[in-house]
Structure 1
Amino acid sequence: MAINLTKGQKVDLTKTNPGLSKITVGLGWDTNKYDGGKDFDLDVSLFLTNAAGKVETERNFIFFNNRQNENGSVVHTGDNRTGEGEGDDEQINIDLANVPANVEKIAFTITIYEANERNQNFGQVSRAYVRIMNEGSNAELIRFDLGEDFSVETGVVVGELYRHSGEWKFSAIGSGYKDGLAGLTRDYGVQ
């Protein structure tokens, strides 16, 4: 049975699931009725950071044009440009046991592609969520529904996987960015 998190809540992932190594992280969303004439294209990006919260190498910034980190332990399965249909819109496969030791945190973000040019923001997005599944059994372990707390934001830090005393934990963040991907890359130290 999945644990449903609220904003700010933290939960053990590997300690409560002994032997868990391979997970799938699914992110999904819907868009509200929108008559701006442009398609909505939301993108998942990941920032694999050191203890200081900074990305050390560009290979540790995962997005639709760089779909895996340097050793292949974190793999983005592909860009969904429409968000159509049920279920996850984008997924990431992570082999927790092989994530490089210098990576202390994996931040999951969603941004709106060309948000300013298309006059789009997260006030027009609904039912956004992140969930973590056991890759082997496909059992949902953790779920965080973002709610409708956003209006003018064009990017959101959904949550973070992080190391703590040799175990992996998940933190439900739900923090919005008004300057989208540019603000996220700046704050995570990507050039």
Structure 2
Amino acid sequence: MAINLQKGQTINLRKNDQGDNAYDLSQVTIGLGWDVRKSGGFFGKLFGSAPEYDLDAIAFLLDKNGKVANMGTTLQRQNGKNIVLYQSDVIYFNSMKHPSGNIWLTGDNRTGEGDGDDEQIIVQLDRLPQRFEKIVFVVSIYQGNSNRQHFGMIENAFIRAVDAKGKEITKFSLSGDAGMNGMCSMVFAEAYRHEGDWKFRALGEPHRTDNFIDVLVPYTYK
């Protein structure tokens, strides 16, 4: 049975709530979902339309010092816009698969419409190189500040972990509230090694910035 986590709560990803080694971590899906709060007022009810919200899922792979060791390269593009952090230990929309091949982002959902996961990060935890001790999962609203969008406008936000056999291991739900007003990024959760197993901790740490690079800075070597 999946465990619904509270903020700050930690569970062992491999063991279920009965203590049995039931979960298959050969491939774990970290799914993120959200709904945009419907507009109020006459026009909102009349047209029933919701603005486009582009929430991006990001993962930081950290070493034993809690830092991102590989910052990758800068990819030169023909249109003149460079891509930074390419083939690095940061998985995001411009570098969707880790060089190890053991963690990748499946795609980019720009609306949050539909049931189930809106974005997914796939991790082969049992094959992830030993040098990685922790994975931090972040969600940012792309251009949230300029579009005046924030997590206080989002409902039913969640992050969950599903094992290789499709069993939901755990879920952490975080609905919009007054404390999320003006917050455009969120450190949702982290997975980390502990005595040969992987643990998962719900965090729910909000940030005002809409640029995940700002969230990344404390995890980098100076």
* TM-score of the two chains, using structure 1 as the length reference: 0.92
CA distance in 2 between partners of 1:147 and 1:162 (Å): 25
CA distance in 2 between partners of 1:28 and 1:113 (Å): 15
Question: Identical aligned pairs, as a percentage?
Answer: 41
Please tell me whether residue 89 in structure 1 is matched to residue 118 in structure 2: yes
Pairwise CA RMSD: 2.0
Q: 1:176 aligns with which of 193, 206, 222?
A: 206
CA distance in 2 between partners of 1:88 and 1:61 (Å): 21
Which residue number corresponds to residue 101 of structure 1? 130
Q: 2:56 aligns with which of 43, 58, 64?
A: 43
Alignment of 1:125-164 (within 5 A): 125-135=154-164, 137-149=165-177, 150-164=180-194
**Contact residue 122 and residue 154 of structure 1 kept, 8 A:** yes
**Contact residue 25 and residue 124 of structure 2 kept, 8 A:** no
- Matched to 1:145, the amino acid is S
- Matched to 2:9, the amino acid is Q
The alpha-carbon deviation at position 65 of structure 1 amounts to 1.0
Gaps of 5+ in 1: none
Which residue number corresponds to residue 68 of structure 2? 55
CA distance in 1 between partners of 2:57 and 2:187 (Å): 10
Number of equivalences = 190
Q: 2:32 is paired with a residue of what secondary structure?
A: strand
**Contact residue 154 and residue 175 of structure 2 kept, 8 A:** no
* TM-score of the two chains, using structure 2 as the length reference: 0.80
Which residue number corresponds to residue 84 of structure 2? none
The alpha-carbon deviation at position 190 of structure 1 amounts to 8.1
CA distance in 2 between partners of 1:117 and 1:127 (Å): 23
Structure whose CA Rg is larger: 2
Q: 2:146 is paired with a residue of what secondary structure?
A: helix
Gaps of 5+ in 2: 45-49, 72-87
The alpha-carbon deviation at position 33 of structure 1 amounts to 2.2
